[in-house]
Structure formats: structure tokens, C-alpha cells
Amino acid sequence: MPEKSGTKASKEVDRQLDRYRSMRDFSVTAEPSGKSSTGTKSTLPFVIQKHAATRLHYDFRLGWNGVLKSWAVAKGPSYFPGDKRLAVEVEDHPIEYGGFEGTIPKGQYGGGTVMVWDQGTWLPHGDADEGFRTGRLKFELHGAKLKGNWTLVRMGGKFAKESKPNWLLIKEHDVYERGPNDPPITEEAPDSAITGRDLDAIAKAEDHVWQSHVPESHGPNRSRLTLRRKAQSNSAAQSENKSKSKPAPLAAKSSAALSHAPHESIPHFLKPELASEAKSPPAGDDWLHELKLDGYRIQAHINGGKVTLYSRNGLDWTHRMPAIAHALQATAAKSAILDGEVVVLDEQGNASFAKLQAAFDVGSKAQMTYVLFDLPHLDGHNLRELPLDERKQILQSLITQLNDRAIRFSEHIRGNGVEMFSSACELGAEGIVSKKAGSKYCAGRSTDWLKSKCILQQEFVIGGYTLPSDRGSGIGALLLGYHQDGKLIYAGRTGTGFTQQSRAHLRKQLEKMRATKCAFAEVPRQEQRDAIWVKPELVGEVNFTTWTEGGMVRQASFQGLREDKSAKEVVREQAGAIAKPERKSPSAKSAPKSAPPKRSKDEAEVDGVRRGPREQVLVHGVKITHPDKVLDEETHLTKQQLAEYYSAVADVMLPHVADRPLSIVRCPEGSGKPCFFQKHIGPGLPSGIGSIPVKSKSGGKIEQYLTVSKAEGLIGFAQMGGLEIHPWGSRNESMETPDRLIFDLDPDESLEWKRLVASAIEVHDLLSQLGLESFVKSTGGKGIHVVAPIRPERSWAEVKDFAHRFARMMESSNPKLYLTKMTKAARKGRIYLDYLRNEREATAVAPYSPRARKGARVAIPFTWDELKKMTARPEFAVANFAEWKSRLKHDPWAKMESIHQSLTTQALRAVNDFAA
């Protein structure tokens, strides 16, 4: 393929990047086996990047579960089946990196030149998840250079002990294979598959630069929003001028655009253009689609070197975001108005409004990022009459000169809105905003801008609150509403999404706003109980899953206060049909009235839930009677919601629950009423729940214990009001030899979370010294579980004795902090090391299980790196599942099933010697 010019090559790479962004997370399929829900085979992306870093190598990447699974292949792939190419597994990369061809600056992770050597699609043979887990993955490639059947095999023996797992990439026998004397494909086709360039041409062009920023953000999405494209006309100037130099002038293309834009003095403040709600993204190439960001809308004014930052209602917030104001001072513009969203990104790269508010209100040092998407004014010219795509080109040219992490350009794709929306939802994003490419910038609500939301989210007026169940210093729940026809309509409550600090902060604010009368037009009697009314002046942002037939929000989770919104303008948002192009923007005052949707008694199956008669529903084939029965008063969690939650987490929960004796905590009347343990089967069990005969340790009597093997069993527990699931530490097939070693760190209430985290890490480090890899999870309460998988080789007595001596070892080394006796009186300021979870018939709460306590919080697995960064006890609950659902794609305990380690004689001797 002849080499193209640098400009054409750059455009081709841009096209590839847009393509990959539009398919960011399309590797997540309904069935990870490689078949879609319709039964037809679906393909996934793959890319091979030729990488001239410290050493030349080939990065082999397979798109799976929202990331690129990656291996470094030193010699590159070979079509000869006799060549077993060493492939060193490296960290997952973001999907968008698969389209990157350019340079990574020296000093950053992977610094060097990157070429897209090959790309295409791949198809797993069989269950890909099983292949990754067992270390034998068979698949078919359909690339520009690589085709046919291939295998990745993870090496064992000494190679399995390497810090990075070693695999072998092998060509299988088929029509595409070559002989040992045939020319290698890497020599036969050495250049880029998308631009035809060689490595030297790519390095000289400097048209694309990838900023990895690895030291500050690890993980598969660490580079999100950090892709920077150099303007061709500025590349030479940028290489010579650093951040302290005088900014370069705007690109010639931008200057030409300004020539036909009307002159004007810079306006004081522009009413921002707002998006209308849509049921689905619009189709066609006339639309640009951007990720919807959950932050504060900020309008930046640059005038004679002075930067002013305005909130969406015109308040001067410059003092609240000094770093952003400082960064914008380096722009080349004499005067400009920039429009964008200020966000704080979480560990997964998603915008987190809760973290943003904490950065303002609680003094967090979180990094704020200003993501820019429009440019209504520049250098004395009104750009609002120009088409959006032209304004964005000028904007990108303006800010590409800034080398500051605080300023980012809002990337978009043209067309493929449905695909991007689906990918955004899988990533855990709030949704997308679709904008008409040729539209002008218009003040107020517009149908030229349409927002499609993955999670229902809107602002609500706070009209009251309740005290926490323990009568502590914070709040229990907020009472929410919206305006309609001059009245404040009650919309339910939210009792989750708070931190300890935000609960206390809200209580302090609301105490000052107490009112003698209820501001809501009408509140159900049961909802008035324990309510404290306040003046309806504060506005809160809330995530929720749906509206109930009674007009209440379901599974609502508080995100933070909206200081930039007036309570009077809060109405119920309702998605409408996509407006016709010729319709003018409706006034914000003409928002449609919203009546709760009516349901027929029998509806079709939607997302696996078939609505039957009002007294029951089917959740994936399991009958749930009285589906609206509330199981948790604090969050209004219903039986149906619990069933749907168990269905959603079944894939990650079942490996630790299936085919084990189980005990469950049943709360037929809800968590606030008497609950009880059940471990034996009884009459009328729902389908999917089975039994396993267990000989009682006291007397040898045979008893039938509960057990499940499939998702239907978990959903059946919801039908029984089962709010907690506790498995044994052994499987049905090897009941007398446990395969889990569990340490329950149960702290005194007064102990800080950081101290508990440090103790869990100490357990992890000590087990590691004994040759045992361990995993960690919260308990859904105040404690932490450290769990080490072991081969089922030793008896319960041996495992319990080891755990006891291990705990005694820790207690002896620090008796002021640890104790191994259950005495409550002695636990003040200390951590009880509960080793008794390792006793026959003892259980521990399962990962992803709710707890049968008010709030229905969930026991959540973490990576050790995640735990180390946590400064406060995490808040995960069934009620805010929509908020953390994206965690299921990267289960921290997924590796546990593939670890085969023994509780060795040396380990037993080590703790025995200490005890002696």
C-alpha cells in the first residue's frame, strides 16, 4: 500500500478513532460465549499495534467486556503452527486505544511510536470467559493481515509464577497456515493497516499524541479523556514553546471562519442552550453524539487575560475553581466564551457528581476537569450563528494548544447514535447528548440538542427529611418532590447515596430550614411518619431506576445538592419523541405534564421481566408473588426489585454460592421486623432451590440443607424474602474439606475505617508470606472479610486450627489492637479477629449479598488497590445498584476460581512454631 500524506493519514486515524469510540463497549454481549441473545454469532474487535518502545514488539489486543485484553508479543504473530510465540499478558487497555496510531511522549508509560499493524474482528470458539479463566482460549481472526484459527495458551510451571502471566500465541492448522520457510507476515506486511505508513513516517508526523498519565490513574480506563490531537500548523511551535511561552495564534482555518461571523462586544452572560429529553438517540449522520457528563454546567469568559467562570444561572464561581481559571489564561484568545461541563472523574473514568460536590463542599482535593463542547463567542465575533460542527472545530483548534489536564475537549462521533448510547450505558455513563451538526447556538431548551439517559436522573425539591434509625447526628432519608400546575408533588424518598459527611452536612442545613407545615400538596399517610418538614428551597440530584404506578421514584439514590438550580424550576422530566427539524425550541415553561404511566395487567416480557397480574410477576421464569411488598422500609426495596437484583448479579455471585450448603436470612415482613435464619428445606420452596443431605455434627442425624446451582435459585430466595445468603466454606461434593479460608475483621464502632483497612492489608501480607493469595470484600456492615481460596485437601479441624493460630499470632504481636475472643466488653477500640468462620456448619455472607438490615447494603468485593485508596466505609446498596452496576464487568474476585493453592505443611508449621 503506498504511503499517504501526513494529512490524509491523520484523517484516516481520526476516522478509525471515531469508529472505535462508537463501539466503545460493544464487546459486552448478552452471552459471553460469543453468541448473541438471538442465537446468532457476534463478532468482537481485535487490533495488533506495532510498538517501538524500549524494544520493538507487537501488542496483541482482543476486545472483551468493555476493554482490550492485551498481550505483548516480542516477535509478533506467525502463520507457521510450529512457532509458539511468547505473549506476555499486560494490563487491559481502553477500547478507544485500539484505534490509536501515533506517539506516546517519552517518560510516559509505553513511550514510543505506535502503529495499527492489523485490525479486524475476532470470534471466540466456545465460552471466552472460561477460556480466559482456564488459560486456553481458542478463536478465529478476521483481520487485514491475520485470518483463520488461533490459540492462546497460558503457561504453567515456573512461568506461572512470573509477575505478568506468560502465554503462547499459536496458529492452528487451517487453510491460512504457512510453512516454516515461508516469509514471516511481519516482514511481508510491515506497515500500517489503516494508513500505509511505516514507523518513521508516523513518528515524524506527530499528528496524534496519547497521554497515558499512568502515575496518577491506574486501570483499564486511565486514559479516558486524555487523547490529544496536535494541530498540524502548531506542531513545530509546540515542540519549541513550553507552557510558559506565549500562546500560538489560532489555526488559519479558524481565522477564516471568523471572517464571516458577525462582530460583537463580548456579552456579559449568555443563557445556555439546554437539551430536551428523548426516548432514544436520533438516527442519521446529521447528528453529533457526545457522552453526557454528570457535573456542573460552566460558562467561561475570557476577556483581556481575565477569566470568569459562571454557573448555568449566571453566578460567578471563579473562586471555586481556581485551577480551571488559571489553565484557561494560557489560551490564545483575546476574548472568548466557552461552554462546557466541570466534572470529577472516578476510578473507572466516569463523571461522578457526588465526587464533584465533595470537591466543593467537603474540601476534597479531587482533580476537576473542564470538558468543553461549544464556543459561542471568540475575539469579538458572534459564533452562535455558525453551524455546531464548525464551532467545535474552532474550539478544538483553540484549546489544543493547552497542555493542562484540567481542560479537555468533548469528543463526539457522527451518526451511530444507538450504538454509542448502548456502549455508554454498558460503561456506566449517564447517557449521551445528541446535537444537530448544522444547528445554531440557541438560548434555552432546544430540540436541536437531545439527551438520552441510561439511568433515570433528575433534580428534585427537598421538602422534608427523616432522622436515622439509630437517632444519630445525620439524616435517614430525604423527602422529594417536583412542581406541577403550581403545586409541589410528592415523589417519594431517598435514603442511600450519602456519605457520613454529607449526612451530617445536610442535617445541619435542613435544621435551619424547618417548617411547621408540609409544603407538598399531598403525601400518603404512611410516608408522613417520622417526617420533619422543611422549606422547599434546596434542590438535590437523584438517580433512580423507574417511576412507580403511584408516581414515586424507585430505588432512588442521592447524588448531591444542585446549587446552580432554583427549586421553582424543578419539574418532572419526561422523555418525548424526537422533534422534527423544523419545530422551534419549546419554552422551558411548557414542559409536558406527567401522569404516571398506566400498565395493563398483562404485558410482554421486557429485559427479562414479564408483567403478569398485579398480584404476581415472573422474573426470568420464577414466580414472584406480592411483588410490591416492601422488604426494606428505609429504601422502599420491594420483592420484585430484590429478585431483579439477584438476577443481575447471578453471574458474579454464583461462583461463590452455587453447589454449597446455604443458610439464608429471611425477612418476610421486611428488615425492620423479625427475621430468621433458615438452612433446612421446607414445603413449597420456589423452583430452582434444591437440597443436599448433611450429617449433623451433633448426633449424626441427616438433615436436608438448602442449596442452589443456577440463577433461578437466587431469585427464588427473593420470593422467600431472603435478604442475606450465607454459603459454607466447602462445596457439596467435598463437604468435609473446606476450600475457603476466611478471616472476619469485626471492628469496634469507634475504630476508623483507615485502621480497619490497614489491618486487612496486614492479614493479606502475612498470608502472602505463607504462600497464600487472598481476596477482600466489605461485609455490608462495619467489617471486612479476607478470603483465601485453598484446595479442598484438609479437614475442617485443621483449617480452623490454622486460622485460630494465625489470629493468635496477630493478637500477640499487637494486643492493644487485636483480640480473638468474642467478649463485647473487651472490644472497645479493637478489632475482633473472627476465625470461627472456618468451622464446619459456620457460614459467611456471600459476595454481592444484601444484608438484612435497614438500608439493605451489600457485601462488595474489591481489589486490594481499591481498598488501599478508600478513606471511608463504602456505601453500596441494592437501592443504588444502578449507580454501581458497571462494577460487575470487572469482578475483583473473578480470578479466585482459577487459583489452586494449598494450605501447605510449611504454612501450618510456621503458625504452629509461633504459637509454641
Cell of 92: 487491559
Report the C-alpha gap between 620 and 617 in whole angstroms: 10
CA dihedral (149, 152, 156, 162) in degrees, to 10, reads: 160
Task: Please give the single-letter amino acid code of residue 603.
Answer: E
Q: Calculate the alpha carbon distances from 428 to 70, 341, 425, 845 in Å.
A: 22, 18, 5, 26
Report the C-alpha gap between 547 and 556 in whole angstroms: 10
Helix (H) or strand (E) holding 810: helix 796-813
The count of C-alpha atoms lying within 13 angstroms of the C-alpha of 658, restricted to the half-sphere facing its C-beta, is 15
Cell of 647: 438476577
Provide the residue count of the chain: 916
The count of C-alpha atoms lying within 13 angstroms of the C-alpha of 798, restricted to the half-sphere facing its C-beta, is 18
CA angle, 859 then 694 then 650, to 5°: 30
What is the secondary structure of 608-641 as a DSSP string?
Answer: TEEE-STTEEEETTEEEESTT-EEETTTTEEHHH
Q: Dihedral of CA 441/447/451/457: which sign?
A: positive
The residues pairing with 152 across neighbouring beta strands, listed in sequence order, are: 137, 169
Closest CA to 447 of 431, 432, 435: 435
Neighbours of 603 (CB within 10 A): 12
Contact 77, 186 (CB under 8 A): yes
| Pairing status of strand 102-104 against strand 112-124 | antiparallel
φ/ψ (deg, to 5) at 887: -60, -25
Helices and strands per DSSP (H, E), number in the chain:
19, 47
**Residues with Cβ < 8 Å from 213, sequence gap 6 or more?**
108, 222, 223, 226, 405
Report the C-alpha gap between 49 and 90 in whole angstroms: 14
Residue matched to cell numbers 410490591: 628
> Which amino acids are annotated catalytic?
292
**Residues with Cβ < 8 Å from 715, sequence gap 6 or more?**
619, 620, 622, 624, 643, 646, 647, 650, 686, 688
**Residues with Cβ < 8 Å from 682, sequence gap 6 or more?**
none
Contact 197, 4 (CB under 8 A): yes
Task: Please give the single-letter amino acid code of residue 293.
Answer: L
The residues pairing with 786 across neighbouring beta strands, listed in sequence order, are: 743, 776
φ/ψ (deg, to 5) at 56: -70, 130
The side-by-side arrangement of strands in the sheet containing 831-834 is 818-819, 831-834, 740-747, 784-789, 775-778, 861-862
Residue matched to cell numbers 469482578: 891
**Residues with Cβ < 8 Å from 84, sequence gap 6 or more?**
168, 169, 170
Residue spans of alpha helices (H) in 635-692: 639-653
**3-state SS class at 116:** strand
What is the secondary structure of 157-173 as a DSSP string?
Answer: GGGGGSSS-EEEEEEPS
Q: DSSP class of residue 837?
A: G
Closest CA to 664 of 672, 673, 676, 655: 676
**3-state SS class at 147:** strand
The residues pairing with 773 across neighbouring beta strands, listed in sequence order, are: none
